[in-house]
Amino acid sequence: MKNKIISLGLIMAISLSMVACGSSSDTKVIESNTNAEAAGPEQVATADAGYVFSYDGMDIPVDADVAPIIDKLGEPNSYFESPSCAADGIGKLYTYNDFEIQTYPDGDVDKVLYVMLRTDNVATAEGIDLSSSREDIVGAYGQATEEDSSSMKYEKGDMTLVFIFDGDSLISIEYDSAMNK
């Protein structure tokens, strides 16, 4: 029994350490201006902007400095650190009720690696949430850049918007930085 507990602990530790490495099939979703910092509703997207997730009047773009975003969002429900596979240093995972934000280090700044929508209480700017179907997604975004039975991917700028399925059920939406590839 003691060996089973130790083995389970090691498996959990390895699994958690892979969070920053992007080893899961879950995808991160954010509509983003790849050069933008987090801003309020006054942020204007440029022609090369990617998809950006907006929450409570605040844009959360990939590759943005996460510090002002976390300041505005407040204390997360949970927080986890592990070595980053996207860059040298520590990646951080901030989990909120309806979404999570993973970061990567860029010098002295932590930047948004991905945002993953976890519930149907939040949606993309185009109105897609976890209750949406593949047909709803195609209606909102057109044909996917890449598609298989478990995901639909849309590339725009230096980021990817990914819809992850379990059968016919949409289980997560992720806004991914190019650093997450």
- Res 43: pLDDT: 37
pTM of the model: 0.74
Residue 18 CA to residue 15 CA, distance in Å, equals 5
* CB-CB neighbours of 151 under 10 Å: 17
- Res 50: pLDDT: 86
Return the SS3 of 77: coil
- Res 38: pLDDT: 39
- Res 12: pLDDT: 37
- Domain tally for the chain? 1
Return the SS3 of 60: strand
- Res 34: pLDDT: 33
H-helix or E-strand containing 54? Answer: strand 53-55
- Res 168: pLDDT: 93
Bridge partner residues of 110 (DSSP): 105
Residue 95 lies in domain: 2-180
Q: With left for phi above 0 and alpha for psi between -120 and 50, is residue 173 left, alpha or beta?
A: beta
- Res 49: pLDDT: 62
- Res 147: pLDDT: 96
Low-confidence ranges of the chain (pLDDT < 50): 1-48
Give the DSSP letter of residue 130: T
